[in-house]
Amino acid sequence: IEQLCHTNVDSPFPVWQNGTISPCVNQLLLGSLSHAVIAITSACYISVPRLTHIASSLPIGWGFRAASTLLMALMFIGDLVLVFELQAPGIYLNVLADGCGVLAWLVHFGAVLALQRSMYRRTRGPALFPVLLILPIPNLAFILTAYVQEINHLGVLQPLQVVRLALTVTRAALVLVYILGYIFPCYRTQRDLLSCNAEDTAPLIVTFEPDGGKCLHPRGGTQRDVKLLQVLHKAFGLRYYLLGVLKLVASMLAFAGPLLLGGLVGFMETEGAPLSKGVWCAVGLFASTFLAAVLRNVFVYEVSKVALEARVAVISTIYSKALKVSASALARFNMGEVVNFMSTDTDRVVNFFNSFHEVWSLPFQFVLALYLLYLQVGVAFLGGVAVAVLLVPLNKVLASRILENNKHMLLHKDGRVKLMTEILFGIRVLKYYNWEEHFTQKIAETRKKELHHLKLLKYLDAVCVYTWAALPVVISILTFITYVLLGNNLTAAKVFSTLALVGMLILPLNAFPWVLNGTLEAKVSLDRIQRFLTLQDQDLTVYYSQVCPEDPLSAVEMDQASFSWKQSEEDDSISGSLVAVVGKVGCGKSSLLAAITGELTRSGGEVFVGGREQGFGLAVQEPWIQHATVQDNILFGRDFDSTFYQAVIEACALADDLNILPGGDQTEVGENGVTLSGGQKSRLALARAVYMDKEIYLLDDPLAAVDADVAHHLMEKCILGILKNKTRILCTHRIEFVDKADVVVLMDNGMIVKTGTPNEVLSLVKAPKDCKNNSNAKEKDAIGREEEEANEPELVAELKMFGEEQKQMGKLSWAVYCSYWRAVGGCIAVAVLLSLFLMQASKNVSDWWLSHWISHLKDNTTELIISIYSITLIRFHAPDRGSETSGNVSSELKFYMTVYGSLAATNTIFTAARAFLFAYGAICAATVVHKRLLSSVLKATMTFFDTTPLGRILNRFSSDIYSVDDSLPFVLNILLANVFGLLGMLLVMSYGLPWVLVPLLPLGVLYYQTQCFYRHSSRELKRLCSLTLSPVYSHFSETLSGLSTVRASGHTSRFEEENERRLEQNQRCLFSSNAAMQWLDIRLQMIGVTVVTGISLIAVIQHQLKSIDPGLVGLSLSYALSITNLLSGLIFSFAQTEMQLVSIERTEEYSTNIPQEPQEVLESWPEKGRVEFVGAVLVYRPGLPNALDGVSLEVLPGERVGIVGRTGSGKSSLFLAVFRMVELNQGQILLDGVDISSVRLSNLRSRLAIIPQDPFLFSSTVRENLDPHGRHPDFRLLDALEQCHLGDVVQRIGGLDSEVGERGKSLSVGQRQLLCLARALLTEANILCIDEATASVDHKTDMLLQKTIREKFKDKTVLTIAHRLNTIMDSDRVLVMHAGKVVEFDSPAALCQREDSVFQKLLRGGEDRV
């Protein structure tokens, strides 16, 4: 035993030795014996019976247990090799212990594999196993203690001993993994399975399985119990947490660097040290840096994959939630907020995946660095650390302030994006009314609040940056000064090991505030998404009665049902027939249809709908059109059936329109149907509903926006034709068609007043006297919205041209950099660069001073070991001759220390200057960029808005502005610090070891080539990512605006698939981008490894040649150790900066390259109202037919003119020309003799009033919608509302200061049109243009409104595009247009008497129909 244990004959088997258990007891009893027990027990389970047929999946825990046991065996084999290499005393004891370990874990590995295929497969396995695992733990603990003491005692002279320590720590970690695998087996039930694409091996799209819905709503369906965090944890937790093992090992290997560096410098200081020691240190440096690089690379790559999967899971969940949530619950959030959940908030949550492992590894690295510092300089390290500890409470305060400001900033950002969305939706109204100034002001106010919080954020960040950047210098000074004052002697090995360790301390200290910040941001965003996910879902099984009604033919039945938003319906049963619902504006017709589709909240009574599972054919009042071809809009995901398709097109009167469109039914329709007229949009939506071929049809006023001919055609061929066997509920104001219904329902104030046959109910509806003429009416298929009919072909052509978002190619132009430089401000930019340069220079000089100090100490013949005694002697006694030498020593020390301290102080001052100057510059840039973008976009021509999807413009205002505000300054700051850091480092290294330039030059060329190749790819990938992201957002906002249609028709699952398809495209780009990043990273890491190895070898060779200064070598090497991080940091921050600058490129494109409306000088303006067209020719774009073809006419002041004509005749083009929405190609338009092209646009539009066809309201108060500039007193506003018969409605919703909801949702469409009319009454304009202003208003109200217009505008010039011909019969003159030319222009009476009159034919056309 004494030979085995290497002990005395007297005491061959000591239990206690040197204050701890003896190695003999530890290795024999606690090690070998316990491993023997593990081996024997495990062997019993190897022969366990196998299962013949395995159906169930294996719990993940088993996989981890198998992997950790195998790795454990490998660790013992590695230790065995090192034991032979070291040839230390007690070698046989170690061989025995390691041999037993290898045997035990290999047998146990076999047992685990056997149990996986046995009946234990779906359990944790035998309970004995964790007990076995606990047996070797005491042995591990004692070995670790012994190694640490040994390294303490000998320093790090034996690198192999350090490696043995690392292996032992890894064994401890593997034991932990095994125990975790046992405690959390993670059964793969159907519930937490994640499906991946069938055709794709890479699972880029991850969705929670159908049963995974339980994941979100377990425990009896109460949604609130489950948190998004829990679901993410269940889905990705284990795989993600295990990646932490890689992180742990890589972090520990990184610490081997400073220790080996100390060994190498010690070797150089020692004359005649054996060469092998130097070589071993160099090899150790190579091995540790190489391994750490590989592990770190794998770790980052794997984490990025998990993060991508989590991202798509969260986005899909938000999307499917939006499809399920009830309309009343969804109303709590506006559209901008919901889109933000999907973009900004999801990104923040996903970024947390990158920072979570930092949360635990940074403190771990910090503690480890402190421990190693303690080994180097003893208690002196406390001097430096005290400062770091004092900063923790400061950091806490900063973090909470940052969090608070972040919340407020996000709120204001939401508000700004929401307002911007509305402005873009209502841009036409905005320009007609000349309100750009006012809304620019509103946006500027919101932006100012947002910037206020951004400013605070940036300054708080600057404080963080400053404290952490100044910290390393302060820590190293205090540490060295304390060390010297304690009476120790500084040596090169000590100083540079310490400097390298302080460098490693900084990394966790520097990164921690950012990690903390990221974690806090993720927390805020997670809570926001959670709030959305806990909204109440539509529960249709509860909403609809499951009991069939007594009458088997009933398709829809309501019994005493009441609904909110604040409606109540009474007994109402309907069978498969045509039911007409009539009533005045705002009586609840649309709400009745919403109640049937389940969009309202049922607060009483019962609703039964037969066959609702198939969905409804729904045509809503404001048609929702997708950004796709006409055919895709009609098919709406169904298979193409040529015969039925043609029948639908014919029934919905779309055949003629398709002939006009350039691509027929393959023509792209712009976003929201922007390229179609109002009538075409409503008929396209109707065709979509008809093609769905459902049993129940809900039609909300599809006849409103079409003229008499078309309305008649739709009624006969569609509603009474192709749909004749279906149940149809038709809401309408067109009384003339109601007598065709089987049942008529009259509504008032949300109540069903009467149900009966047409004759019974119609007597209650006071039809106007000239009912006949009314039917002539609705010339409005196109008669109302020609601006588009005429410009359909053009717009569509342009859409084809603009259809795909333009992707910039190649590298960023200098103009982009210059524009950002200008935005920051030249002086500020120069000041930032100067402070950075001075900061870096002062840091490098202070490090050089340290190495100079050490070299001086070494050269001094007398060893300067300064004791506290000699210092106190000098301090308290007048120096006599005996203390002269020590006086010299002390003054010299004081000199060195003072210079070193002053350099460090200078460094902190420059650091502060750089941090605050940078923050100030970033704020300036954010302000300037947004201001220019907003000003440019609001001054853009209408053509630009018609051809650019909303999502694309919004993207500039949300994600691109967010980049400019936040992400760009962040990465740019890091980039600049890295550039200056690298330059300083290269200079110092070349000065200290000139030979290092030999390997550096080829490596520099390699580095340059690699980064060029990477940057080219990464830039294009970033652009592709942006490009594939826009369709995801635009599809989401499109879905939100057409939610009722999608749900009613039962197409939610198809929309979810479409969302996933678009997400998949984006995920591919992101995945490629991440993979490219890791491709680059591993190459850069290898360059770093080469530099470190090169320097250490050069140092060893030069030591042999006796031409070396250990101080300078130490300095060079301590710099070289961090070169890997710096090289990869430099290129990533450069690539990131370039990527973020793409946002500047995109905002710059819209700030400079979009067509602007001319902004001429202001002129005085005549006050009459004469309108004169002189040979006006208008072409929307070259190559298209003239929309106005030589129009010449004169309208006298105060004259009322009605404008009529067929589709495409150029009626709306007249208005567009007068408002200069499109500039004339030839001729001129004179208002009171002044050519309007010479007048400033804002001046021109403020003198004109228009009542547009599409009523558009902003989601603010009634007051702000009527009078945004606040020019009129309240009584004027109320008077205008009263004249438009809106007084009661406004009082009911809460007066002038009540909110009208997002885009006016709390008013019906008819009420919105009336509000727009009130708006026109308030303008002081001399010329009023009316474009089918009362389409959605009942006849009675319409008659009253015509009277109001006649009275109020009696001295004004009024141009009316006719929709009901009776409304223009009392005009002074009627203008008949055809193909862009004036055909007739005379009084109605004169035209009616002429036999060949076109107007006469139009009039007769209507009468014949009736």
Provide the pLDDT confidence category of residue 883 given band limits of 50, 70 and 90: very low
Indicate the SS3 state at residue 1408. Answer: helix
Q: With 60 as the cut, is the pLDDT of residue 874 above it?
A: no
Distances (CA, A) of 799 to 405, 573, 802, 962: 42, 47, 5, 28
Neighbour count for residue 837 (Cβ, 10 Å):
16
Residue 704 CA to residue 715 CA, distance in Å, equals: 12
pLDDT digits (tens, 9 = 90+) for 5-62: 666 666 666 677 666 677 777 878 888 888 988 988 888 888 777 776 665 667 788 8
Residue 151 CA to residue 161 CA, distance in Å, equals: 8
**pLDDT (0 to 100) of residue 779:** 36
Provide the pLDDT confidence category of residue 282 given band limits of 50, 70 and 90: confident
**pLDDT (0 to 100) of residue 572:** 55
Neighbour count for residue 1175 (Cβ, 10 Å):
13
Neighbour count for residue 636 (Cβ, 10 Å):
18
pLDDT digits (tens, 9 = 90+) for 1168-1225: 778 888 888 888 777 677 888 888 888 888 888 888 877 667 888 888 888 888 888 8
**pLDDT (0 to 100) of residue 6:** 62
Residue 280 CA to residue 275 CA, distance in Å, equals: 9
Q: With 60 as the cut, is the pLDDT of residue 776 above it?
A: no
Q: What count of Cα atoms within 13 Å lies in the side-chain half-sphere of residue 528?
A: 24
Q: With 70 as the cut, is the pLDDT of residue 1092 above it?
A: yes
Instruction: Output the six-digit token pair for 415.
Output: 């508000």
Provide the pLDDT confidence category of residue 687 given band limits of 50, 70 and 90: very high
**pLDDT (0 to 100) of residue 1008:** 85
Q: With 50 as the cut, is the pLDDT of residue 189 above it?
A: no
Q: With 50 as the cut, is the pLDDT of residue 1282 above it?
A: yes
User: Under a CB-based contact definition with an 8 Å cutoff, are residues 399 and 517 in contact?
Assistant: yes
What does 1167-1203 look like in DSSP terms, one character per residue? -S--EEEEEEEE-SSTTS--SEEEEEEEE-TT-EEEE
- Single out the residue of 49, 164, 184 nearest to residue 117, CA to CA: 49
Q: With 70 as the cut, is the pLDDT of residue 1157 above it?
A: yes
**pLDDT (0 to 100) of residue 766:** 55
Mean pLDDT, to the nearest integer, of 329-351? 83
Q: Specify the higher pLDDT residue, 1166 or 150.
A: 150
Provide the pLDDT confidence category of residue 70 given band limits of 50, 70 and 90: very high
**pLDDT (0 to 100) of residue 830:** 92
Residue 592 CA to residue 731 CA, distance in Å, equals: 9
**pLDDT (0 to 100) of residue 71:** 92
User: Under a CB-based contact definition with an 8 Å cutoff, are residues 1108 and 1099 in contact?
Assistant: yes
Q: With 90 as the cut, is the pLDDT of residue 1310 above it?
A: no
SS3 per-residue string spanning 1108-1126: CCHHHHHHHHHHHHCHHHH
**pLDDT (0 to 100) of residue 19:** 63
Distances (CA, A) of 1269 to 417, 432, 1246: 21, 15, 12
Indicate the SS3 state at residue 503. Answer: helix
**pLDDT (0 to 100) of residue 1068:** 92
Which DSSP category does 563 fall into? Answer: E
Q: By CB neighbour count within 10 A (0-12 exposed, 13-18 middle, 19+ buried), where does 683 fall?
A: buried
Indicate the SS3 state at residue 473. Answer: helix
**pLDDT (0 to 100) of residue 659:** 82
Q: Specify the higher pLDDT residue, 1093 or 897.
A: 1093
Indicate the SS3 state at residue 288. Answer: helix
Mean pLDDT, to the nearest integer, of 433-448? 87
- Residues 6 or more apart whose CB falls under 8 angstroms from that of 1127 comprise 982, 1007, 1084, 1087, 1088
Angle (CA) 1009 1012 1014, round 5° = 110
User: Under a CB-based contact definition with an 8 Å cutoff, are residues 1207 and 786 in contact?
Assistant: yes
Our measurement of the distance from residue 1378's CA atom to the centroid of its chain's CA atoms, rounded to an integer in Å, reads 50
**pLDDT (0 to 100) of residue 1334:** 66
Q: With 90 as the cut, is the pLDDT of residue 834 above it?
A: yes
User: Under a CB-based contact definition with an 8 Å cutoff, are residues 137 and 47 in contact?
Assistant: no
Say what angle helices 492-533 and 1110-1121 make with each other, to 10 degrees.
Answer: 10
Q: With 50 as the cut, is the pLDDT of residue 1071 above it?
A: yes
Provide the pLDDT confidence category of residue 664 given band limits of 50, 70 and 90: confident
pTM value is 0.62
**pLDDT (0 to 100) of residue 379:** 84
Mean pLDDT, to the nearest integer, of 340-367? 84
H-state helical runs in 325-345: 327-330, 335-340
Our measurement of the distance from residue 1052's CA atom to the centroid of its chain's CA atoms, rounded to an integer in Å, reads 23
State which H helix or E strand residue 921 sits in.
Answer: helix 884-938
Mean pLDDT, to the nearest integer, of 362-387? 82
Distances (CA, A) of 977 to 355, 397, 469, 1007: 21, 26, 10, 19
Angle (CA) 1192 1198 1204, round 5° = 50
Q: Taking all residues of the chain, what is their mean pLDDT, rounded to a whole number?
A: 78
Q: Specify the higher pLDDT residue, 315 or 116.
A: 315
Instruction: Output the six-digit token pair for 678.
Output: 């109002």
Provide the pLDDT confidence category of residue 1304 given band limits of 50, 70 and 90: confident
**pLDDT (0 to 100) of residue 773:** 37
- Residues 6 or more apart whose CB falls under 8 angstroms from that of 1094 comprise 996, 999
Name the residue with tokens 């491709």: 1079
**pLDDT (0 to 100) of residue 772:** 36
Residue 58 CA to residue 68 CA, distance in Å, equals: 17
pLDDT digits (tens, 9 = 90+) for 82-138: 888 877 777 778 888 889 999 999 999 999 888 888 877 777 788 788 888 888 888
Instruction: Output the six-digit token pair for 843.
Output: 């840091």
- φ/ψ of 59, rounded to 5, equals -60, 145
pLDDT digits (tens, 9 = 90+) for 1003-1015: 888 888 888 888 7
User: Under a CB-based contact definition with an 8 Å cutoff, are residues 866 and 889 in contact?
Assistant: yes
User: Under a CB-based contact definition with an 8 Å cutoff, are residues 308 and 1074 in contact?
Assistant: yes
State what percent of residues in the chain have pLDDT above 70. Answer: 85
- φ/ψ of 1400, rounded to 5, equals -60, -40
Mean pLDDT, to the nearest integer, of 187-206? 41
User: Under a CB-based contact definition with an 8 Å cutoff, are residues 258 and 265 in contact?
Assistant: no
Q: With 90 as the cut, is the pLDDT of residue 147 above it?
A: no
What does 943-995 look like in DSSP terms, one character per residue? HHHHHS-HHHHHHIIIIIHHIIIIIHHHHHHHHHHHHHHHHHHHHHHHHH-GG
- One-letter amino acid at 179 equals I
**pLDDT (0 to 100) of residue 222:** 42
Q: With 80 as the cut, is the pLDDT of residue 780 above it?
A: no
**pLDDT (0 to 100) of residue 10:** 65
**pLDDT (0 to 100) of residue 1368:** 77
pLDDT digits (tens, 9 = 90+) for 568-618: 455 455 666 888 888 888 888 888 888 888 888 888 778 888 777 778 888
Provide the pLDDT confidence category of residue 1396 given band limits of 50, 70 and 90: confident
Name the residue with tokens 């002062």: 842
Residue 242 CA to residue 1090 CA, distance in Å, equals: 30
Which own/partner pairs from 710-718 qualify as long-range (CB within 8 Å, at least 24 positions apart)? 710/653, 710/679, 710/683, 710/778, 710/781, 711/737, 711/775, 711/778, 712/1409, 713/653, 714/651, 714/652, 714/653, 714/683, 714/686, 715/740, 717/650, 717/651, 717/653, 718/651, 718/652, 718/686, 718/690
Residue 978 CA to residue 1248 CA, distance in Å, equals: 59
Distance in Å from the first CA to the final CA of the chain: 120
User: Under a CB-based contact definition with an 8 Å cutoff, are residues 1238 and 1160 in contact?
Assistant: yes
